Structure formats: C-alpha cells, structure tokens
C-alpha cells in the first residue's frame, strides 16, 4: 500500500471496509434495523462502538501525524495532505486490517508503542478483527473511572453495566496479558531482536492484525511456532480458550465476605 499513500480513493475505500468490518455484524444489523424503523432504540453495545470507533480513529490520526510528521522516512517527505491521509490510514488499519502505507520499520519508538496500544484494543465484538475488543476496553475504562470517582454503579449512555460484564472484561484483559507475557518471554529466548520489536510483533500476531516491523521474516523455527500459537489463540479469543480448558465448579457454599488490601 506504500505506492497508494497519496491516493484518496484507495485510502478511503479500504478504510471504509476496515471500519465497517471492525464495527461487527451486530452493530451493522442494529443500525440497519434502526434506520428501517424496525427498532426504536440502539443497543448499548452499538452506542459504545459508534462513539468509541471514531474517537479512536481521530485520536490515532492525530497521534501518528504528531509523532511522524518530521520523520523523513515516513511522513516527513510527504505533502501536508498526504501526511494526514497516511496518518488516517495507519490509524484505521492498526486495529484490524494489517495494511500499511508507510514503512513501519522506520517509525519512531513512540509511534510503534501507540500502534501497539491500538492493536491491543482491536476491533469490535462479533467483528472480523482481533484484540481484546473495543467494548472490553471501554467497560474497563468506565469501571476505572467510576472507582476513581467513588461511584456505586458504572453507567454508560444512561445504562448500568452489570458486575458480570465488568468481571468478564477484567478476565479478558488479565488472560490476554498473561498469554502475551508468556509469548514475549519465549520469543526473547529464541530470537535475537530488540525488546520493542518483539513486543510489536507478538501483539500484532495476537490481535490478528498482521503488520510487521521486520522480525517476522527472520523468525527461527521455534519463533514461528510460538507466533502460530499466538495467532490461533488471538483468533478464537483468549477467554474462549480459557472457558474450553477450565472445569466449571458450582459451589453450594457461600463463604463470608471480607475486604482485602489492594493497590
């Protein structure tokens, strides 16, 4: 896609496909039913996605432009309009598709770190993308905000988020973090590559984004096997895998509650 960095038709056409695919089938269906009059109100999940997606796109575009506008190897050599096009495309593709219109190997460490965050957040639930999912990130952020503000309930768009949803979001983040830590640790043993490159490649594989900072082509056989396992887990979902491996145990006893010091 580097050859089309200044082509608005290609950039916006592909970006539209990334965004629609990243919203998820339930969101598209819900919006369709709302527009046709079959449904009076949008679901909470749809509202979250319709607000969070453009927010991430705008923030991502601005950050990539700010971080790379003076880098002659990426955006610095482009015209002002092409710089914004490339920054927007990189923001749109980072959470889902895996295309790139600039050389990722030449990006600054700060840009790679921000791209890692976008890849980890990923796309929407029931979408074609990976990552921990946008709604998981939003629920976790809302829960943190409610805790810091000492609120008893987590409210989004005048709807209360249940404790089970918050617990599930926390479980997804913890399980994903554990899987990524193990994979990165193993790759640091098998591969001779910088820390930031290994982190980037691992999260790219886990989020099924597919972008590379140059390490993938140089992976050893054990490294390739590790990446394959990470990609499979990222595709089926870390929590789904945990559910498959865990043995459900129903307890008939409810023990007394007692506070534990944390933080």
Query: How does 176-196 read in b/e, with b if 16+ C-beta sit within 10 Å?
Result: beebbeebbebbeebbebeee
Q: In tens digits, what is the pLDDT along the chain, a chain of 263 residues? A: 667 777 889 889 989 988 998 898 899 999 999 898 888 889 999 999 999 999 999 999 999 999 999 999 888 888 888 899 999 999 998 888 878 888 888 888 899 999 999 999 998 888 878 889 999 999 999 999 999 998 989 999 989 999 989 998 998 999 999 999 999 999 999 998 889 899 999 999 999 888 887 788 889 999 999 999 999 998 888 777 767 766 667 778 888 888 888 77
Tokens coding 158: 């005048």
Q: What is the pLDDT of residue 37?
A: 85
Q: What is the pLDDT of residue 141?
A: 95
The Cα–Cα gap between 114 and 63 comes to 8
SS3 154: strand
The Cα–Cα gap between 228 and 220 comes to 12
Structural element, H or E, at residue 236:
helix 221-236
The Cα–Cα gap between 89 and 45 comes to 25
Q: What is the pLDDT of residue 88?
A: 93
Tokens coding 150: 């000492």
Q: What is the pLDDT of residue 217?
A: 84
Q: What is the pLDDT of residue 237?
A: 81
Query: How does 16-50 read in b/e, with b if 16+ C-beta sit within 10 Å?
Result: eebbebbbbebbbebbeeeeeeeeeebbbbbbbbb
Q: What is the pLDDT of residue 246?
A: 67
* Sequence spans of domains, the chain: 2-245
Give the tens place of pLDDT for each residue, 138-167: 999 999 999 999 898 999 998 999 998 999
The Cα–Cα gap between 138 and 172 comes to 13
């Amino acid at each position: 896609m580097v050859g089309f960095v200044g082509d608005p038709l290609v950039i916006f056409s592909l970006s539209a496909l990334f965004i629609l695919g990243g919203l998820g089938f339930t969101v598209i269906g819900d919006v369709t039913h709302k527009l046709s009059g079959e449904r009076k109100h949008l679901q909470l999940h749809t509202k979250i996605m319709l607000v969070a997606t453009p927010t991430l796109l705008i923030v991502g575009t601005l950050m990539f432009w700010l971080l790379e506008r003076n880098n002659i190897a990426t955006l610095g050599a482009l015209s002002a309009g092409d710089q914004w096009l490339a920054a927007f495309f990189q923001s749109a593709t980072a959470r889902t598709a895996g295309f790139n219109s600039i050389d990722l190997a030449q990006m600054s460490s700060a840009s790679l770190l921000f791209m890692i965050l976008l890849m980890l957040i990923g796309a929407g639930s029931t979408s074609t993308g990976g990552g921990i999912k946008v709604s998981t990130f939003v629920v976790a952020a809302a829960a943190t905000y409610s805790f810091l503000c000492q609120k008893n309930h987590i409210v989004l768009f005048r709807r209360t988020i249940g404790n089970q949803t918050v617990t599930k979001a926390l479980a997804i983040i913890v399980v994903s973090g554990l899987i990524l830590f193990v994979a990165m640790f193993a790759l640091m043993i098998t591969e001779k590559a910088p820390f930031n490159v290994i982190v980037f490649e691992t999260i790219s594989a886990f989020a099924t984004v597919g972008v590379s900072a140059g390490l993938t082509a140089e992976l050893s056989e054990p490294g390739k096997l590790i990446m394959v396992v990470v990609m499979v887990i990222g595709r089926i979902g870390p929590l789904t895998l945990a559910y498959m491996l865990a043995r459900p145990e129903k307890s008939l006893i409810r023990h007394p509650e007692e506070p534990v010091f944390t933080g």
